[in-house]
Amino acid sequence: MTVVSPVCVETPAKINLYLGVGPRRADGYHELATVFQALDLTDQLEAEPLESGVQLKLRSGKGVPAGPSNLAVKAARLLKREYEVPQGVRLTLEKRIPVAGGMAGGSADAAAALVACNALWGLGCTQAQLSQLAARLGSDVPFSLCGGTALGAGRGELLTPVLSTGEFTWVVATSFTSLATPDVYATFDKLRGTDFPEPSVPRALLSALRSGDQVAVGAHLHNDLQAAAVSMRPELDLLLEAGRDYGALGAMVSGSGPTCVFLASDHDHAMELSVGLSGTGLCKQARIATGPVPGPRVTRTRT
């Protein structure tokens, strides 16, 4: 009998350096023009062999569903069904990415499940094959699978890698509350109306990323969903303002929020920012993270 080893995968959170949102499409999604970046703020997912079925155990992650609605469970089930895999998997998830915080934590776990189960079941699927399944699981899952820095079009699933120089140091301020992505998009629709142009990513941001010009990147950070998130959580404006007062090169709501991210000039500045923001009492935690980092990585196969 062959003994199959468990597979452990580290999977990164994402932020949107630019999030341009177009009008709602007929399928209910919004056309996006976005730049994603993966950060070294990670969840850990372990996949162990099981005779049949897909099970999930949560090591941490208050508010995360452990049943069939969990995106990691959906990902494992989809892969199992598509490739007619007879055996099962027991997933164990350690959450460190904020839950419902606008950092694609659920998508990161789905991407991790695809990578872990592909390895565990010895399927040999290519990145392109996994990416097709990823797009069926959610708009952010293809980027979560690819990592790095990338342009996103369509509903966010059509990716082009972006050349980026150097490392960016971020302070990620998590919130005491969460926001549901569909609610933030619905508020965006109400605030914006229907008649506005298709979004596009400014060339100046792409050129700043290419040359590693941190100040210019900071100046071009933008999120069309920010006004909607702030209207739902007005205290976020005070937090963003505090970050700017502490000299952040850029400050914005991450994705659909309520997590906020601040670009620091270096690690020492990030420490100052993090202590300053924590002291305001406006955020739950202010963690330092760097990007870009690669997508999900197999870190361990236990024997």
The answer to the question of residue 199 lying near ligand C5P (CB under 6 A) is no
Structure-token pair, residue 217: 């990147």
The one among 20, 102, 138, 147 contacting ligand C5P by CB under 6 A: 138
Residue among 184, 12, 220, 235 nearest 109 (CA): 12
Residues β-bridged to residue 262: 171, 251
Given 16, 70, 131, 139, the residue binding ligand C5P (CB under 6 A):
139
Six token digits for residue 108: 């990161």
Q: Using CB under 6 A, which of 140, 145, 162, 277 touches ligand C5P?
A: 140
With b for 16 or more beta-carbon neighbours within 10 A and e for fewer, the 78-108 pattern comes to: bbbeeeebeebbbbbbbbebbebbbbbbbbb
Tell me if residue 140 is catalytic: yes
State how far the Cα of 273 lies from the Cα of 29, in Å rounded to an integer: 35
Nearer to ligand C5P, 30 or 220 (CB): 30
Minimum separation from the CB atom of position 186 to ligand C5P (A): 7
Kindly state the smallest distance separating residue 79's Cβ from ligand C5P, in Å: 18
Q: How would you classify residue 141: left for phi > 0, otherwise alpha for psi between -120 and 50, otherwise beta?
A: alpha
The span from the CA of 177 to the CA of 9, in Å, is 28
The position carrying tokens 């062959």 is 2
The answer to whether the beta carbons of residues 172 and 277 sit under 8 Å apart is: no
User: Which region among 36-44, 177-185, 227-235, 238-246 touches ligand C5P (by CB under 6 A)?
Assistant: 177-185
Contact between 98 and 174 under an 8 Å Cβ cutoff? The reply is yes
Q: Which residue has the tokens 């909607």?
A: 228
Active-site residue, from 43, 74, 80, 140: 140
Q: Do residues 142 and 132 touch, judged by C-beta distance below 8 A?
A: no
If one asks whether residue 29 binds ligand C5P (CB under 6 A), the answer comes out as: yes
Q: Say if CB 21 and CB 224 are below 8 A apart.
A: yes
Nearer to ligand C5P, 22 or 49 (CB): 22
Q: Which residue, 29 or 83, has its beta carbon nearer to ligand C5P?
A: 29
Could you say whether residue 254 binds ligand C5P (CB under 6 A)? no
CB of residue 81 to ligand C5P, shortest distance in Å: 19
Question: Which C-beta is closer to ligand C5P: that of 187 or that of 214?
Answer: 187
Q: Which stretch binds ligand C5P (CB under 6 A): 39-47, 92-100, 138-146, 268-276?
A: 138-146
> Per rule CB under 6 A, is residue 181 in the interface with ligand C5P?
yes
| Only segment of 72-80, 90-98, 180-188, 276-284 that touches ligand C5P (CB under 6 A) | 180-188
Q: Which residues are catalytic?
A: 14, 140
Binding site for ligand C5P (CB under 6 A): 29-30, 32, 138-140, 155-156, 181-182, 185
